[in-house]
Structure formats: structure tokens, C-alpha cells
Structure 1
Amino acid sequence: MPDVWNRPNPEFPGVQNSWVDRNRKVPRPLQAEVRPFNREGHRALAPLTRNSPLYRRSYAHKHFQPSLRDDPNYGLAGRVFKLRREVGHRGYGGVATHNEAFVPSNRGYGVVHRNQQVWGHGERRRTMFGDEFRVGFNRLVSGHSVRCFFTDNICLDKKLGEGGNGTVLRCYFRDSPHPYAIKLSRHDVHAASLETECENLEALSRLAPDCIVPFIGRVYDRRHIEQEDVERYHGRRVAPPPIASIVLQYMPHGDFGSLTSLLSRSYAFSDRGTPHPEVARFYIVDILMKLYGIHQAGYFHGDVKPANMMMTPEGRVLLADFGTARVDFRDNWSEGVAGTFCLMAPELFTYVFEGFQDYAGPRTYADLWSVGVILHWLIFGYSPYNGSAEEEIYRDLNAFVREQRWPEIDPSDLLARHKWEALRFIKKLLVWSPYSRPTWNDIINDSYVHDQWIMMKTGTLRAPLVHHNGRWMPTPEWDSLL
């Protein structure tokens, strides 16, 4: 029997971290660890005993846990066990799985992702049926207690997306069947960017929690934490350990870019595939409300685009990817930029090309420029300027502002009034000088924003689309416009 079964359990001193009593060679009683469920999903009152045929069958199969998935009386628990087997839950060691993105390792119960072992094994822990996972620890960082995890607490699953400074995958905690999202640094050079993003998320989780994708915690390599403890024990000063990754709430309903693609395919109101202007107005006001939250917290985003906005089941937007975000004060105004060029404000191109005097001023105005470009695309179906490279994009941006190439609206169009009102607001945002763009007080009191802002803030206006039964469905309030 492998040594991992006989290791002392650090949480329960004097208790072997094993499901097997070495003297009696039979499974230990599970009354304290596992309680089965009945058909309605409630915990059964009767404990599971050694004399139970269900218990004996699980021991015969050498799972060392009751095989509740085979019993029709324990449907909910059976589905939990089945899900954990499908994702390679390490409570089952080397159980085979059909998921090609994750294959359990036979090398010390490690984790293998795409034929490459990325994380090693950890101590086995008793499985509970609670909704909250029982892994992790609290750590004091910059005067605040944050939730942290070890790499061996997490099982990786399929890849969700990839950006400039990291890769996002779906993952599972060993003590929870619920999926989460984890962001891994692509290269060592991006480790500092991941550290900065983690600090931004921790601060915004306290200051503007309703505006961002919920942050779960940091992930460390266990060896680094143990080494830090040894160094402190000997009285040596040590640097903070590096972050391996960050864990976020899993957002299964996609980003705003995928939702706009659905709107153009199924709910278009023009030949260009644009939605109804009032639908576009709702989402733009929702984006502005989230940006207002982080700006009031003292931060700018730095890369506002549809791919960095995740959708909730209620059809609302949450901001994501804060790798380019910073506190908006003078010391950060001289830093370079790493945003998306086709949505970047003109003043930030001074960091891209040589020969310009670098812009040193507030960066929140650049976020508003990006919102103006997104609104232009939603209303008229195309971006106000284009290009395949930085130089071409900047040249076309200059021509757009200098020549005032605003779209022409046909007065006979039934939606002309809505488009004129949207174009008026776009012109307020797409101004060359950042100091000439509107303040938040001007935006909130603008006729294009104010009424929608109040109704959305008070919850009297629902989103045009909500996620129901695995698909996006129009709400009754918006059914006539979709």
C-alpha cells in the first residue's frame, strides 16, 4: 500500500490520514465523515454502518467510500460522486476519466494536464457533502486577510481562454464538486503582472465587489510557503513567495462578445447585424455602471473590451482581467500600456511610438473612450477606425477625429431618433483631448444614461436576455424589441 495512506494527518494530530485501519484491514466507520442523501436531497438521519450492503459493496470494489452513485435512493450524492469521477477527483486516486484535458497521473497521484504533469500530489482529506470547500488557509497580505490555496488542492480541467499574460482554465477543488476558473501565468516574465492583478482583485473585492468577477483567492506552491516558515523561524527576512495562479468564480455563460454575436445572429434590427438601439443602450449603461464602481474606488481598468466583460445568468456585465488596471494616481501615469489597440484612446499611443512626449495624466478617461468605440460598433455595426497594425490604426484614428467621419443617419429610418441620441452621446466620449471628455457627473446626468441608470440601480429594469434552461431567453419587458 502506498506511503501516502499512512502519513499523519496534520489537521487531526495522532490520526493516520487513511481510510483503512491497518490492524483490522477493513474500512473505518464513516458516520462522522459521510452522510448519505435521500431522494429529496436532504441528509438521511440514519448513519451508514459497516453492516450496510451498500458499505460492503463499496469495500468490495476497493473505493474506500460508499458507491452511492449505484443506488437509486441516493440520487444527489450519486451525481456528486459521478461528477468527481468525471473530472478526476483525487479522492479516487487513479480512476480513469474520459476528459482529454485532464488525466489523473500514476506518478504519486499528481495532476497531468495535456500529457504534462504540472502539480504534485497532496494529502488525502475526508470528503464532505457541503457546498463549501474545506481547503485553503488565510494569509495576511498588505494588512488584509486573504484566502489562499496550495497547488495540490486543485484539479485542472479544460482551457477556457488565453490572453496576453495568462491562460484561464476551469478547475475543481478537491473538496468541492463546483467548478471555478483559474488563471495561470504563461511565462515567468508575466509572474509580476499576475501578482499585480491579484492585488487589484483583492482591493476591488473590498471596494467594488458588485462590479467585478468574484475573486476566490491566491494559489501558492506549498514548498515556497514551507520555506518561508523555515526562514522566519530562524529569524531571517524573506521576500513574499511568488503566486502560482489566482482563482476566480467560474462564469459559464460567456463574455459580452459572445452575447453580441448572439444578438447579431438572432436579434438583429439592421442589415449590419446590429441590435435594437435600446438594447445596446442597456448594455452600455450597465458597462458604465461597472466602470463607475472601479473608478470611484480609485482604479482604472486599462483594457475595456467585450472579451473582458463576463455575463451573469441575469444578463448583467461583470468586469474581468485586471492585469492592466492600476490605482489612478500620479506615480502610475507614466507607466506603459498593454491594451487593445483598436479600442485604445489616442493619448495612450504616445507610449507605442517613439518621438511622442508620453502622456502623463489620469487614465480613467481612456476607459471612457473605449466605451464610446464599443457603443459606436453596437449602434452602427462597425468601428469608427480600423487597421491591421499599430501605425495603421493610429493613422486612421487621426483621420477619423480630424475629418469628423461620423455616420450618416437616414431620417426615414424608423430608429433614426434612437440612433441620433446614441450618436450624440458617442461624440461626447470620442473626443481627442482626455480633459475634454465628460466627467462622471456629466455622464450620469446625461439624458441618454440617466433614466436607464436609475431603473437599473433600483432593479426595476431587467436585462434584455437572461440565461434559462441552458440558453439565452428574452425577457417579457424586451420581447417586442428582440
Structure 2
Amino acid sequence: MQGRLVAGRYRLGEAIGSGGMGRVWRAHDEVLHRVVAIKELTAALYVSESDQAILLARTRGEARAAARINHSAVVTVHDVLEHDGRPWIVMELVEGRSLADAVKEEERVDPREAARIGLWVLRALRAAHTAGVLHRDVKPGNVLLADDGRVLLTDFGIAQIEGDSTITRTGEVVGSVDYLAPERVRGHDPGPASDLWALGATLYTAVEGRSPFRRTSPLTTMQAVVEEEATEPRHAGALGPVIDALLRKDPAARPDPTEAEQMLAEAAEGRRPRKAQAYVPTRHSGPSAQAATAMPGTTGPAG
């Protein structure tokens, strides 16, 4: 595959990433003479014609969603095309690694750095939500850490554009199950707060080195998301109460984006955010204890 010319324009280099849906290649745009990243949707090779149409629609949806978002923390999509019967997405090439790779290589991320990463992801999400786009698949693998220090959010492949129901149905569960907000697991329509919950789960993974709700199967993982509180993070430092706030089961009880941004900014400076304390659930000791559902404005011991 390396060296192959795609759509008469993009010369493939080495593969730089892969996942369940496809493979990402470094490529050279021989028209504009620049290096780009191309995502090859290999899943199209193994599905029916009707599912190929859905996959193509989702691919176009990703390009359309990303195009509506104007922010430096969102990976730019240059083009979407069909080649050899499957869709390809041409994107800005980010030299670096994903947050998932960083956790895998280093076991965990320093809390202040994790807060800085979270701050940029939140800013990308705010820009997306302002444009009427929900990401719906925020997770460590979709957060890119550039070698130059930038943080970028990528892969809007299952994004839901406000007013567009072409490729998604009410109650359809899409995304990585251990980063799905509880309301999404229950089949409710997601909102911006659902992306913030996924951000909280992503930051938990960054500082603890493991997903907060992953269990032995997708079903038990979804049950944990809905019914269980995450184990109190041991390495989160000042970021701990912010993660707790973002992981509230009730979307109405989570901080709004403005509050979350302020909390993350304080945590990035190593300061424990005062406002986050109001969102921290009371944790009781004992094998059968469950966390209380303290609402914003109530007081209780720190989590």
C-alpha cells in the first residue's frame, strides 16, 4: 500500500495509526505539495452495500462536522473522497502521539499536564457545541498531543450535527462504551453535558492509567457507568474534584462549560478549584455504601 497514489493526488507513506474502523496514513499531497494524514475506512471492506452507504454518510458527516468548527484545537479536515469503493478522509497531519499512547507509554500523566490537556479539549468542545456539533466519542485515543505542545481533538466520525438525523437514530448507542455518559447508555438523547462527562472519564484515565468504568465486558461496563461511582482517583491531585464534578451521573448536576473551564485552569496551575468542591459526592465507607448525590451548592467532605 505504501507509495500508492490515492485519488490521483495523495501519495501514501507509512501507516501511523489504526483502529476498529480504519487506518491512518502519512501522505504527500502532490497538488499542494504538503504532508497530510489520510484516514482509510477499512471497515467498508467487510460490510454490506447498505452498510457501506451508512459508513460513507458518516464519513461525510465527519468532514461536515469538522468543517463547521473553527478552532485551533480541532484537527482540520481538508477533503473527503471515495477510492477503491471506500471512503477516505484527508486531514491535517499532527506530529505527535495520542493521549492513549502517552498513558500506555508512561502509565499516567501528571495532573497539571492532564488539566492543561483537558482545558484545550474543553475549548474544542465549546467551539463544536457553539457550531451545533456534539462529538460523542471523546476518549484518550481521540486527543492528540502534538510535539509542539498543542492539544487537538480529532475524529468527529460519529458526531451529531444539530438538526441532522440522517445517520443517527434516537437510542442508538455509538462510541466507546466506557466513555459513554450514563444518559447515553440509557438511550436518552445526548447533549453537550454528555461530551463533558466523556472528558471527565478521559482525564481520569490520564491521571490513573486506567479507564474508570471498564469492566470485563461491554455489558458490565455499561452497567458500571450507570450504577457505580468511579473509584476515588489516587493520583489526580488538584484535578480530582474536577473529574468528580464532570462524572456526575445526572447531566444537570455537572458544571457548565464556563465553570469547567475555570476549574481546569486552576487545576492546571496546581490549585484545587474551590467551585469544584460543591460537585464532589459524599463517599461513605463500607462494602455496600453508595455515593450520595450531592447537588451543586451543597457541602460535604472532599472525594
Using the size of structure 1 for normalisation, the TM-score is: 0.48
Report deviation, 1:301: 0.5
Cα distance, 1:319–1:191 mapped onto 2, change above 3 Å = farther
Cα distance, 1:166–1:316 mapped onto 2, change above 3 Å = same
Cα distance, 1:191–1:442 mapped onto 2, change above 3 Å = same
Query: Pick from 218, 221, 232: which aligns with 1:406?
Result: 232
Q: For 2:25 and 2:90, how far apart are their aligned partners in 1?
A: 10
Report deviation, 1:348: 1.8
- Structure of greater relative contact order (alpha carbons < 8 Å, 6+ residues apart): 2
1:102 paired with 2:9, answer no
CA contact 2:59–2:157 (8 Å) conserved in 1: yes
Cα distance, 1:325–1:103 mapped onto 2, change above 3 Å = closer
Report deviation, 1:243: 7.5
Amino acid at match of 2:188: Y
Q: Matches of residues 127-206 of structure 1 in structure 2 within 5 Å?
A: 151-175=7-31, 177-186=33-42, 187=44, 189-206=51-68
Amino acid at match of 2:2: F
Amino acid at match of 1:342: D
Q: For 1:399 and 1:287, how far apart are their aligned partners in 2?
A: 27
% identity of equivalent residues: 23
Q: Deviations over 1:416-440 (max 9, x none)?
A: xx72x32221221111122222212
Q: Could you say what the CA RMSD is over the residues aligned between the two structures, in angstroms?
A: 3.1
In structure 2, what is the equivalent of residue 293 of structure 1?
127
Report deviation, 1:452: 5.4
Q: For 1:328 and 1:103, how far apart are their aligned partners in 2?
A: 39
Unaligned runs of 5+ in 1: 1-100, 105-110, 112-118, 120-150, 223-241, 265-272, 351-357, 410-414, 454-482
Report deviation, 1:344: 1.4
Q: For 1:251 and 1:158, how far apart are their aligned partners in 2?
A: 14
Query: Pick from 195, 219, 225: which aligns with 1:367?
Result: 195
4+ residue runs over 6 A deviation: none
> Greater Rg, structure 1 or structure 2?
1
Unaligned runs of 5+ in 2: 270-303
Amino acid at match of 2:158: T
Using the size of structure 2 for normalisation, the TM-score is: 0.73
Query: Pick from 85, 88, 94: which aligns with 1:251?
Result: 94
- Equivalenced residue count is 261
Report deviation, 1:340: 0.7
Report deviation, 1:304: 0.6
Report deviation, 1:203: 4.7
SS at match of 2:152: strand
SS at match of 1:406: coil
Cα distance, 1:301–1:182 mapped onto 2, change above 3 Å = same
CA contact 1:194–1:245 (8 Å) conserved in 2: no
Q: For 1:275 and 1:310, how far apart are their aligned partners in 2?
A: 14
Report deviation, 1:335: 5.1
SS at match of 1:159: strand
Q: Deviations over 1:371-425 (max 9, x none)?
A: 1112223333433322121122123334523xx7434x6xxxxx8xx72x32221
